[in-house]
Amino acid sequence: MSAFPAFAALLVGLAALLLLYRRARRRGVRYPPGPPGLPPNRERARRAVPKGVSVVEVPRDVQAIRYVVVAHGCSVFGGWLRDVDFVCAAGTDILRLNALGTNIIVIDTLKPALELLDKRSAKYSDRPRMIMLNELAGFGWNFGSMEYGENWRECRKMTHREFHAAPFKQYRPILYRNACDFLRRLRSGRGTVPGHLKHVVGANIMEIVYDIKVLPEHDPFIVLAEAGQECVGRSTTGGLYLVELLPFLKYMPSWLPGAAFKRQAAVWRQAADKQLHVAYDDFLERMKRGKVENHCMAKSLIDSYGLDDPVADGRMRATTATMYMGGAETTAAALHSFFLAMALYPEVQAKARQEMDSVLGLGKLPTFDDFGTLPYIDAIVKELLRWYPIVPLLIPHKLSTDDVYDGYLLEKDSFVMVNIWAILHDEDKYKEPFAFNPDRFLKNGALDPDVFDPQEVAFGFGRRVCPGLHMAYDGMWIIVATVLACFEIGMPKDAAGKVTELREDFVSSFVCEPKPFVCDIRLRSEAHASLFKDE
Ligand code: HEM
């Protein structure tokens, strides 16, 4: 017998043994409930739901939860699951979907989310590989999508130095100054609210990270960062790339038919490289000329790590560039929801103003010196995090080893998503969860410690928890407080001055944001304009 058939027989034998071993090991094992296999459409998905798992049909106008399943597409499954618009199992804590061999675990309640992602975070802190995004399009430097390991740990350490609660306070004057600029832009009547929000959050990040003061319009650094952000959005929500399932395809020559994904990735790679290097190189160049005037993240990192170590240099570039990726779209989306909520709930505005007038006195713009003295403003920020959670399904974590929870086997390499939307709309925690009602967080005029704080879940879990959460909270707080101090936000009106309809209509994407809408924004009085006039 020649060597090849013997070798082939040996391989087949080994594969069969492995299969038998895995079957034996799995015998008696329970998996979390869920539809068997990939549900390709709504009808089949509904029929496929196993006994004992009830399915909640979601009202069409409550857009966000439709994406409990659809938003799996944010990582890799979008194309297939897009038309599935039913949602999660009620009565189960954990749901398991299987999409062509990839397990997706959806955690629907707080207890398993905390137990697994927080307490057992050593096992649950990896991310899916995302070949198109990380490896082909060149965004592997983004530590938000980086695999768990030393590189990721070092980037987190670098972020923590500047962004945890105490050091971040030094950046509050920047947030305040840019908030005043935002008020002036709002007053000008030019542009759009989402455009102004994008500008203010971009301005905050660029200044805090690189000491760059952006231009009022078409700032080149924001333009580059937005271009990078758009590539990430398109590569993660545009549907599945076959290369995610067949990784060897990544070596396919770009000129071959069927390799359009590689040509697309090459275009995105240019944006990824620019986002990584341009602002950082600009900072280095200014530093060499002695032109860096203020403390910023890049300066602090270079003061500690120096300029000579190429590994540290790569990580400093990656860490600083990741801040825009994580912080711009999310914060702008949350504040966009703020304008919608205020137009829909004028009584909330009235209460906020009453609080500010009585605590601060008339005719004063709130500043960070007032932080902690305005519980109703804090309650509005918390309700914004809860009402339409900004990242309703988390960024998928990946389980790095088999695990067991409540008798269920959770397999190594499963994607793990938390249904933050469901947790923050749990009627046991929040009465009338669909209403925007900041009062739910208050008792006797102070924040009620017995009400579950949405911050506990809205920023994620365990070792992957959002490192920008203090910046996010402070950045939202100052805009909410100063806008309410100076402006009235009302329902849209037609040309004849008649109030027109305004709906809660949100974009179906990885980040939950209202679809464009019009509202009526008016200065409370000319005297209020003097509170934020040009410096
Ligand atoms: C309202 C605003 C924000 C919300 C709701 C939010 C929410 C989140 C969530 C849910 C995650 C995933 C956590 C997980 O996987 O468990 C995350 C990750 C992240 N966020 Fe935020 N975020 C916000 C603002 C910011 C800001 C202002 C920054 C920085 C300037 C930032 C930087 C990041 C980064 C770098 C990651 C990736 C962390 C990692 O994978 O290690 N975020 N954020």
pLDDT tens readout for residues 329-363: 999 999 999 999 999 999 999 999 999 999 998 88
Mean pLDDT of the chain: 85
Q: Where are the beta strands (DSSP E) in 69-163?
A: 87-90, 94-99, 102-107
Whether 350 contacts 356, CB under 8 Å: no
Q: Is the pLDDT of residue 298 over 90?
A: yes
Given this model, what pLDDT does residue 63 score?
Answer: 31
Ligand 1 centroid vs 173 CA: distance in angstroms? 22
Q: Is the pLDDT of residue 86 over 80?
A: no
Tens digits of residue pLDDT in 481-516: 999 999 999 999 988 889 999 988 887 667 889 999
Find the helix or strand (DSSP H, E) in which 311 lies: helix 310-344
Q: Is the pLDDT of residue 276 over 80?
A: yes
- Cite the DSSP H helix spans in 27-106: 42-48, 63-70, 78-81
User: Which residue CA neighbors atom 6 of ligand 1 most closely?
Assistant: 459
3-state secondary structure of 244: helix
Given this model, what pLDDT does residue 41 score?
Answer: 46
Ligand 1 centroid vs 99 CA: distance in angstroms? 27
3-state secondary structure of 262: helix
Query: What values do phi and psi take at 521, rounded to 5?
Result: -115, 120
Average pLDDT of the segment spanning 513-524: 93
User: Which residue CA neighbors atom 13 of ligand 1 most closely?
Assistant: 460
Q: In this predicted model, which residue has the larger pLDDT, 212 or 8? A: 212
User: Which residue CA neighbors atom 34 of ligand 1 most closely?
Assistant: 326
Pocket test for ligand 1, best of 330, 397, 477 (most atoms within 8 A of CB): 330
Ligand 1 centroid vs 504 CA: distance in angstroms? 24
459 within ligand 1 shell (Cβ under 6 A): yes
Whether 133 contacts 141, CB under 8 Å: no
Q: Is the pLDDT of residue 436 over 90?
A: yes
Ligand 1 atom nearest residue 475's Cα:
27
Given this model, what pLDDT does residue 456 score?
Answer: 97
197 within ligand 1 shell (Cβ under 6 A): no
- Cite the DSSP H helix spans in 124-259: 150-163, 165-168, 172-188, 193-210, 220-237, 242-245
Find the helix or strand (DSSP H, E) in which 352 lies: helix 346-360
390 within ligand 1 shell (Cβ under 6 A): yes
SS3 content of the chain, % helix, strand, coil (to 5): 55, 10, 35
Report the first-to-last Cα separation within the chain, whole angstroms: 90
Ligand 1 centroid vs 340 CA: distance in angstroms? 22
Scan for tokens 């001055």, then name that residue: 497
> Residue 474: exposed, middle, or buried by beta-carbon count in 10 A (0-12, 13-18, 19+)?
buried
Pocket test for ligand 1, best of 148, 424, 459, 471 (most atoms within 8 A of CB): 459
Q: Is the pLDDT of residue 392 over 50?
A: yes
What's the length of the chain? 535
Q: Is the pLDDT of residue 77 over 50?
A: no
- Cite the DSSP H helix spans in 424-463: 455-458
Ligand 1 centroid vs 105 CA: distance in angstroms? 21
Q: Is the pLDDT of residue 277 over 60?
A: yes
Whether 273 contacts 224, CB under 8 Å: no
Q: What gap in Å lies between CA 114 and CA 457, rounded to an integer?
A: 9
Given this model, what pLDDT does residue 421 score?
Answer: 83
CA 329 and chain centroid, separation: 8
- Show Cβ contacts of residue 218 under 8 Å, excluding neighbours closer than 6 positions: none
205 within ligand 1 shell (Cβ under 6 A): yes
Confidence of residue 23 (pLDDT cuts 50, 70, 90): low
Query: What values do phi and psi take at 408, rounded to 5?
Result: -95, 140
Annotated binding-site positions: 466
Annotated binding-site positions for heme: 466
Confidence of residue 251 (pLDDT cuts 50, 70, 90): very high
What is the CA angle 458-461-462, rounded to 5? 155
Q: Is the pLDDT of residue 398 over 80?
A: yes
Ligand 1 centroid vs 79 CA: distance in angstroms? 25
Confidence of residue 533 (pLDDT cuts 50, 70, 90): confident
Longest dimension (CA), the chain: 97
Confidence of residue 68 (pLDDT cuts 50, 70, 90): very low
Whether 108 contacts 88, CB under 8 Å: yes
326 within ligand 1 shell (Cβ under 6 A): yes
Find the helix or strand (DSSP H, E) in which 409 lies: strand 408-410
User: Which residue CA neighbors atom 43 of ligand 1 most closely?
Assistant: 466
User: Which residue CA neighbors atom 1 of ligand 1 most closely?
Assistant: 331
Find the helix or strand (DSSP H, E) in which 56 lies: strand 54-56
Q: Is the pLDDT of residue 39 over 90?
A: no
Average pLDDT of the segment spanning 81-103: 57
Dihedral Cα 473, 476, 478, 481, nearest 10 deg: -120
Beta bridge partners of 98: 103
| CA contacts within 13 A on the Cβ side of 51 | 0
Q: What is the DSSP letter of 342?
A: H
Q: What percent of the chain has pLDDT over 70?
A: 82
Confidence of residue 400 (pLDDT cuts 50, 70, 90): very high
Tokens representing 29 are 């094992």
Ligand 1 centroid vs 42 CA: distance in angstroms? 31
Considering just the CA atoms, what is the radius of gyration of the chain in Å? 25
Query: What values do phi and psi take at 97, rounded to 5?
Result: -115, 145
Q: Is the pLDDT of residue 27 over 80?
A: no
Q: What gap in Å lies between CA 402 and CA 190, rounded to an integer?
A: 55
511 within ligand 1 shell (Cβ under 6 A): no
Tens digits of residue pLDDT in 309-329: 999 999 999 999 999 999 999
Q: Is the pLDDT of residue 1 over 80?
A: no
Ligand 1 atom nearest residue 395's Cα:
15
Confidence of residue 64 (pLDDT cuts 50, 70, 90): very low
Amino acid at 45: A
User: Which residue CA neighbors atom 16 of ligand 1 most closely?
Assistant: 460
Q: Is the pLDDT of residue 47 over 60?
A: no
Ligand 1 centroid vs 327 CA: distance in angstroms? 7
Q: What gap in Å lies between CA 354 and CA 348, rounded to an integer?
A: 10
Given this model, what pLDDT does residue 16 score?
Answer: 65
Q: What gap in Å lies between CA 72 and CA 38, rounded to an integer?
A: 12
Confidence of residue 60 (pLDDT cuts 50, 70, 90): very low
User: Which residue CA neighbors atom 17 of ligand 1 most closely?
Assistant: 466
Ligand 1 centroid vs 407 CA: distance in angstroms? 31
Pocket test for ligand 1, best of 124, 164, 337, 466 (most atoms within 8 A of CB): 466
Given this model, what pLDDT does residue 20 score?
Answer: 60
467 within ligand 1 shell (Cβ under 6 A): yes
> Residue 192: exposed, middle, or buried by beta-carbon count in 10 A (0-12, 13-18, 19+)?
exposed
Given this model, what pLDDT does residue 31 score?
Answer: 85
Average pLDDT of the segment spanning 105-123: 94
Give me the sign of the Cα torsion angle 147, 148, 153, 158.
Answer: positive
Ligand 1 atom nearest residue 117's Cα:
16
Average pLDDT of the segment spanning 132-155: 95
472 within ligand 1 shell (Cβ under 6 A): yes
Ligand 1 centroid vs 374 CA: distance in angstroms? 25
Q: What is the DSSP letter of 465?
A: S
Given this model, what pLDDT does residue 490 score?
Answer: 95
Of 500, 364, 487, 384, nearest to 440 (Cα)? Answer: 384
Q: Is the pLDDT of residue 24 over 80?
A: no
Ligand 1 atom nearest residue 472's Cα:
27
Ligand 1 centroid vs 394 CA: distance in angstroms? 9
134 within ligand 1 shell (Cβ under 6 A): no
Ligand 1 centroid vs 168 CA: distance in angstroms? 15
- Show Cβ contacts of residue 44 under 8 Å, excluding neighbours closer than 6 positions: none
| CA contacts within 13 A on the Cβ side of 529 | 9
Ligand 1 atom nearest residue 324's Cα:
30
Confidence of residue 99 (pLDDT cuts 50, 70, 90): low
Find the helix or strand (DSSP H, E) in which 443 lies: strand 442-443
CA 307 and chain centroid, separation: 32
